[in-house]
């Protein structure tokens, strides 16, 4: 258990509304990641962070923004949710010592 | 980015059978991991294996980095092995996932 929690775990929202997902870790890891998982695509990287206020884009970053004001929290924001953003969202940390990723429990988001 | 291909995409086994899952990747990598996603959606770390061979109980993995592939062996399969198996490779700060092998073990 890498001490990663995600909130909320489930959310249903309507097209056009803003949504923020939270990832919280308790072990002071520098690197944090947001992925989305869709059938037939595996997990795809949205954004990642390599420190407080240091973030970068992944392969599917359009329509998403992130923020990291504290080491323990990494927020993913959908400014105006669309139905194509219906997905399961996973947060992960990277253990710097072993270069190994560990995942949170996921958030299932449905955009109607 | 790096392309990661997994095979087979689907696999159905009788309980007690053995299987081999394959992961091919298109470029040199720093790290390779195998994950099991259980039917409840949880991603469980199986192996961190950038090269060589590791074993953990009925599971073992081998990565041949120079030939850009990794194999996951499951022996004496059990119904609890069902789920999706992913490999992921790392270069720089990013990780790239394959699309997974969906395994169903029938009692």
Per-residue pLDDT tens over the stretch A21-50: 999 999 999 999 999 999 888 899 999 999
Output the CA torsion sign for B70, A37, B80, B95. Answer: positive
Residue A103 C-alpha, separation from nearest chain B C-alpha, in angstroms: 6
Provide, as residue numbers in chain A, all residues whose Cβ is less than 8 Å from the Cβ of B85: none
Nearest CA in chain B to A100: B48
Interchain contact, B48 vs A99, CB within 8 Å: yes
Residue A84 C-alpha, separation from nearest chain B C-alpha, in angstroms: 19
**A29, A95 contact by CB (below 8 A):** yes
Provide, as residue numbers in chain A, all residues whose Cβ is less than 8 Å from the Cβ of B99: 40-42
Cα B82 to Cα B97: distance, rounded to the nearest angstrom: 19
Mutate to test the interface with B, among A1, A43, A46 (most CBs of B within 10 A): A43
Provide, as residue numbers in chain A, all residues whose Cβ is less than 8 Å from the Cβ of B31: 99-100
Q: Is A41 on the interface with B (CB under 8 A)?
A: yes
- In angstroms, the first-to-last Cα distance of chain A is 33
Q: Is beta strand B101-106 parallel, antiparallel or unpaired with respect to B10-14?
A: parallel
Which of B41, B48, B99 is opposite residue A106, by nearest beta carbon?
A: B41
- Condensed to tens digits (0 to 9), the pLDDT of residues B13-59 reads 999 999 999 999 999 999 999 999 999 999 999 999 999 999 999 99
Mutate to test the interface with B, among A29, A41, A42, A48 (most CBs of B within 10 A): A42
Closest CA to B73 of B88, B58, B51: B58
Cis peptide upstream of residue A8 (ω within 30 degrees of 0)? yes
- Condensed to tens digits (0 to 9), the pLDDT of residues A54-112 reads 999 999 999 999 999 999 999 999 999 999 999 999 999 998 777 899 999 999 999 99
Distance of CA A41 to the CA centre of its chain: 16
Nearest CA in chain B to A41: B99
């Amino acid at each position: 258990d890498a001490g990663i929690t995600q909130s909320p775990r489930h959310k249903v929202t309507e097209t056009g509304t803003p949504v923020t997902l939270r990832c919280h870790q308790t072990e002071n890891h520098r690197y944090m990641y947001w992925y989305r998982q869709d059938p037939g695509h595996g997990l795809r990287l949205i954004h990642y962070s390599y420190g407080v206020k240091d973030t970068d884009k992944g392969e599917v970053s359009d329509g998403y923004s992130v923020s990291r004001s504290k080491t323990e929290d990494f927020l993913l924001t959908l400014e105006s949710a669309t139905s194509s953003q219906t997905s399961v969202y996973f947060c992960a940390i990277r253990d710097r010592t072993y270069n190994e990723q560990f995942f949170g429990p996921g958030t299932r988001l449905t955009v109607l | 980015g790096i392309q990661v291909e997994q095979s087979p995409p689907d696999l159905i086994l009788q309980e007690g059978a053995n299987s081999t899952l394959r992961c091919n990747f298109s470029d040199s990598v720093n790290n390779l991991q195998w994950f099991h996603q259980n039917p409840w959606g949880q991603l469980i770390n199986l192996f961190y294996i950038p090269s060589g061979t590791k074993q953990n109980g009925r599971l073992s993995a081998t990565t041949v980095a120079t030939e850009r592939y990794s194999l996951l062996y499951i022996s004496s399969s059990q119904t609890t092995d069902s789920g999706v198996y992913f490999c992921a490779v790392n270069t720089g700060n990013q990780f790239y996932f394959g699309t997974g092998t969906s395994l169903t073990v029938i009692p």
